[in-house]
Amino acid sequence: MRSINILKIISHPSKGCNRKRLLQLYRSLIRSRLDYGAPIYNLTSKSVLSLIDTIQTSSLRLALGAFRTSPRLSLCAEAAEPPLFYRRLVLTSNLLSSVAQYPQLPIYNSIFLPAPSPYPVSHKHISQHLNPLLASPSTLSLFYPYTTTSPMVSHRLTSRWCSPTVLPIRKA
């Protein structure tokens, strides 16, 4: 909340900064706090996530000098910022891909192998949210460019490949 107040003061129409500086302040002061713990609070209800989305909307509105009736997606497009829903998905998939590379991490089992519980759990497991994003390791095809053979390229120009107007034949 204090960061939004700073943005309010600095975004004054007559004495404030320009749009570029205000967007930099938004990214450093507000978006960094919204991103912190995004994979964890991405599991909360939609009503709680909409409260967090209003922080982004009001901050972008201040930084851009937009009207209160401006739609959320228009503000994101104008500021070249993805909506928080997509930003949370990217951050969560980055976390999952980095943890999936190291199965020896303590958090690996709690993310990819949830422990069975005798009690009904009211919250969803993180893997249930991201099943469309994750593919099983057997279906992933890894492509390492250094293991492929290099193509054979011929640099010779012969009449077979070029027309006579491009490569005139010399008579000796």
Is the residue at 158 inside a domain? no
Predicted TM-score (pTM) of this structure: 0.63
C-alpha to C-alpha distance for 23 and 56, rounded to whole angstroms: 12
Tell me the pLDDT band of 58, cut-offs 50, 70 and 90.
very high
pLDDT of the residue at 2: 84
Residues 6+ apart with CB under 8 A from 3: 29, 30, 33, 59
Is the residue at 74 inside a domain? yes
Q: How many domains does the chain have?
A: 1
Q: By mean pLDDT, which of 13-17, 31-35, 81-85, 138-142 is the weakest?
A: 138-142
Is the residue at 34 inside a domain? yes
What H or E segment, with its residue span, contains residue 52? Answer: helix 46-64
Is the residue at 168 inside a domain? no
Domain that holds residue 22: 2-90
Is the residue at 143 inside a domain? no
